[in-house]
Chain A
Amino acid sequence: MLKSYRISTLAHVLVGLIVFCSSPHLLARQQDANQSEDLFEMPIEKLMDIEITTASKKEEKLFKTAAAAYVITSEDIRRSGATSIMDALRMVPGLQVARINANKWAISSRGFNDEFADKMLVMIDGRSIYTPYYGGIRWDTHDVMLEDVERIEVIRGPGGTLWGSNAINGIINIITKNAKDTQGGLLTGGAGTEEEGSGAVRYGDKIDDKTYFRVYSKYFNRDDGTQPTGGSGMDGWDVFRGGFRIDSDPTEKDHWTFLGDIYDGDIGQTGTAYSLTAPISRSYTRENTITGADVLTRWKRTFSDDSDMILQLYYDRQERHEEVVTETLNTYDVDFQHRFPFADRHEITWGLGYRLHRHTVDGSFQYSLDPGQRDMNTYSSFIQDRITLVEDELQLTVGTKAEHDHFCGFVFQPSARVLWTPDHRNAVWGSITLAEKTPNRHERDSTTSWGVFQVGPSLISQEAYGRDDVRCEDATAYELGYRTKPTDKLLLDVTGFLNVYDGIVASERLANISMPGYTIRPYEFGNNLDGETYGTELSATYQAMDNWRLNAGYTFLQMQIHPDGSSSTRDATIEGQAPHNQLHLRSYLDLADDFELDCSLNYVDNLPSGDIPHYLRFDARLGWHTAKNLELSVVGQNLFDKRHSEFGAEGNQVPTEAERALLVKLTYRF
């Protein structure tokens, strides 16, 4: 039986090995210096024989980022066989990605993972999809056509300055391709055991030499999952989505983007409805409906290489009908940002933003918000100075975001980052950031009934209440990282972090309240928990051969959360929802005759609360470029196990297990 600690030991050995082997970086640096001097001694004919390896601008930028950053490229998405953003995120070290059931996911970085994980910010093309309702991301609602994704940038740790609140544990930035890069037609179709039917079509063309556009539409139908007990989870879902994007360069210095999407979907949910009159609890299965749209426009003016300005506006609408609640959210946002050099060694970036959320919830006994409708304004600003202390070698970035949040007033989030690049093969960075998570409507305005049951002759109603005085959660994040390229084929990236939290919101049980005919067992939200989390994240990329590339990732996380004062909250549950160790291995192999064989292995430690055992997941993909415009891929997911659980019962969700799945997909370009 695979014991958690044995994997942990093996993983620690691996970490040790990799760290030990990066000490040759010192050797490499010496050799590098020698190499440069040797270059000067080389006769010119030999110089002309040297092959130049150039890292792409993006790779160089990533190498010199003073943060724990990871980029999922469009190649990574294609070759992972992922059918959703959520599956693609599994490869990122430092992220916990747990499939709760067929349509619900818990994704967060560095702990506090939950269906409603509220410490991670996610954006699509500059549009925030973090909801002010309960704080968190609706992974069943937001989606993009994966073939349109240029890259997904994941930064673990506070994005503090620039993006602001609610990114204490990290930010995921999904960026779609410029319309110029998606010209022509693309048609995909897939059929499988879990992804029963899916298809997408996209067409791009140019309006004139400076303006390009694309339109797309996609549809998928995903199968019900199986409950641990064996029954169907009735959690199948299908969503139709469509949209467009226009990119234009009206002048050499201007770039303008305009995009929009609409969607409509049915999402299966099994839950329990509670009531004070018979039947006091009733199980239901229902197709929730989601519908929505968004438009975004962005204008970027480039003054020079180190100076530019961006103005962005967007509108987002979401409507959602569930059994116990109906919700509408309209978001209006405007952002401005300007970057310019100052006094030789400084690069200043500053910005202003305004966001309005108009949120309405039509509730029921089981769930309601008071007031039902709320307009939430957030005024934000930020300023950042990137100071070059030693040209090309030492850089200090200081900055802060100042926000006026609807609920808790002025919020300041300063940060300082240092980057040291002794040569082009090594980078060391460190940072200290103060970050905040603002209160959301659930924590402030809600009344939830999460159980009505009979105890002997008495009727008990378990209820949770939000409170007006729930304030921001604070976090101080200390991070240290090291990146090295000991050879041109190997890249290693290590990060260590310590987060100190204060005032994490959790519910606290209060004294029972007697009501005519029943008793309330009340819970109240409050900033009741303090604690620390710490850990390390490691990733390695190795180009073993021209046609074979390997990736590895390892995550270690330890959480120590405790109630402050006399609170009686379930801190053990929060700690127990984080896996201590995660390991990821991935291989991309290009075979002769246009074949690709891609495999990935994921190990996730057990989750003590919820009794979820550790699991090992193996995915494989065989891709074949049959003809010039046609690509066929066969993807097997979770091949080792018939099915396994990834997350426990949570709120009103019925968890189902991730099953072994097969998918066949055809992609045709015209």
Chain B
Amino acid sequence: MKVRAVNLIVLSMAIVAVPAVTPVRADPISAHEREVKAAFLYNFMKFVEWPAEKMGDANEPVVVGLIGSKEFIKAIEPIVHKKINNKNITLKYFADYEKPEKAQEADRGQWNQKIEALKSCHLLMFCSCDSVRVEATGEIIKALRDSPVLTVGEADGFLESGGMINLLMEDKKIRFEINTAAAKKSALKISSKLLRLAKRVVVEESPQ
């Protein structure tokens, strides 16, 4: 009885040890949500055309701005080594843009200043990972309506608030939907290839 027990122990250990010994391969078909969404942002920029004045010359970098949860910053960092249209990419995180409480008070001027700063971006991502809600989303999008800033989000109702591209999860895979009306208003051209891959395309503006 005891001898069988030893064998069982050794066998059990082997069962556990074998997977530990199996060479570790980066599993090619599964990855972390934020990293994949970050890669999508890079791709969006490849399929969107900004007006010439916005793009400027080769020395001016393309600015990717982030608002909301800071969790996204680490995932999107590799983007600064990439190029769009041969231009470098810089990353900017805008802190404290979530709540427009101050806008209700006399500090309207400070809020307007904050909005102006956002206009320097080519792409603005509203990060709502871990249920951080960017309450000011609607207000910010409204303020940026006529500026060539590609607004991307990952929350329900983002397109209805006037956002241009919304990322969502379906069956453990990332999908996206596009609001072309909003893009048109900001003089942004979205390639038909991207429109074809989108899960849903909204062509009319929602009543504001």
Contact = CB atoms under 8 A, between A and B. Distances in A.
Given A47-B43, A585-B16, A32 B173 contact: no
Interface string A1-25: 1100011001001100110011011
A392 interface: yes
B16 A542 contact: yes
Contacts of B39: 39-40, 42, 47
B37 to A, nearest CB: 9
A488 B27 contact: yes
B103 interface: no
B16 A640 contact: no
A28 B142 CA distance: 44
A549 B29 CA distance: 21
Interface stretch (B54-62, B78-86, B178-186): B78-86
Contacts of B74: 391-392
A640 B26 CA distance: 41
A592 interface: no
Given A36-B78, A44-B197, A601-B12, A616 B36 contact: no
Contacts of B174: 47-48, 50, 52
A50 B78 contact: no
A603 interface: yes
B117 interface: no
Interface string B34-50: 01101110110001000
Interface string A31-57: 110111101101111011111111001
B36 A50 contact: yes
Contacts of B9: 7, 10, 583, 601, 603, 616
A48 B177 CA distance: 13
Contacts of A53: 30-32, 172
B32 A44 contact: no
A145 to B, nearest CB: 31
Contacts of B31: 35, 39, 50, 52-53
A601 B173 contact: no
A305 B131 contact: yes
Interface stretch (B17-25, B104-112, B153-161): B17-25
A239 interface: no
B71 interface: yes
Contact of B79 (A2, A7, A40, A392): A40
B15 A14 contact: no
Nearest to A425: B32
B20 to A, nearest CB: 4
A51 B173 contact: yes
A236 B131 CA distance: 51
A22 B16 CA distance: 13
A17 B173 contact: no
Nearest to A34: B26
Given A17-B21, A44-B197, A305-B132, A32 B30 contact: no
Given A2-B2, A391-B70, A52 B130 contact: no
Q: Which has the most chain A C-beta neighbours within 10 Å: B9, B15, B30, B74? A: B9
Interface in B61-94: 70-71, 73-75, 78-79, 81-82
A409 to B, nearest CB: 43
A27 interface: yes
Nearest to B12: A585
A640 B79 CA distance: 59
A206 B50 CA distance: 54
A32 B77 CA distance: 14
Q: Which has the most chain A C-beta neighbours within 10 Å: B10, B26, B79, B172? A: B26
Interface residues of chain A: helix, strand, loop or mixed (majority): mixed
Interface in B135-174: 169, 172-174
B19 A544 contact: yes
Contacts of B173: 48-52
A487 interface: yes
A25 B20 CA distance: 11
A490 interface: yes
A414 interface: no
A664 B47 CA distance: 63
Interface in A545-589: 550, 552, 583, 585
B13 interface: yes
B52 interface: no
B36 A47 contact: yes
A123 interface: no
Contacts of A583: 9
A467 to B, nearest CB: 47
A89 interface: no
A22 B78 CA distance: 26
Nearest to B41: A40
A51 B30 CA distance: 5
A521 B137 CA distance: 79
Contacts of A142: none
Given A39-B39, A52-B173, A616-B5, A487 B73 contact: no
B172 A2 contact: no
Nearest to A391: B70
Q: Which has the most chain B C-beta neighbours within 10 Å: A25, A35, A45, A492? A: A35
A399 interface: no
Contact of B20 (A17, A27, A28, A57): A17
B175 interface: yes
Contacts of A37: 78, 81
A304 to B, nearest CB: 9
A636 interface: no
Nearest to A42: B39
A124 interface: no
A191 B58 CA distance: 79
Contacts of B25: 31, 487
Nearest to B131: A305
A540 interface: yes
A424 interface: yes
A609 to B, nearest CB: 24
Contact of B71 (A7, A392, A603, A618): A392
Given A32-B26, A39-B39, A2 B5 contact: yes
Given A40-B78, A44-B43, A601-B8, A52 B20 contact: no
A486 interface: yes
5 contacts: A22-B20, A27-B24, A37-B81, A42-B39, A44-B47
Given A2-B6, A36-B78, A616-B9, 14 more contacts: A7-B9, A18-B16, A22-B20, A40-B79, A47-B40, A50-B29, A50-B174, A53-B30, A53-B32, A305-B130, A392-B74, A490-B20, A601-B8, A640-B1
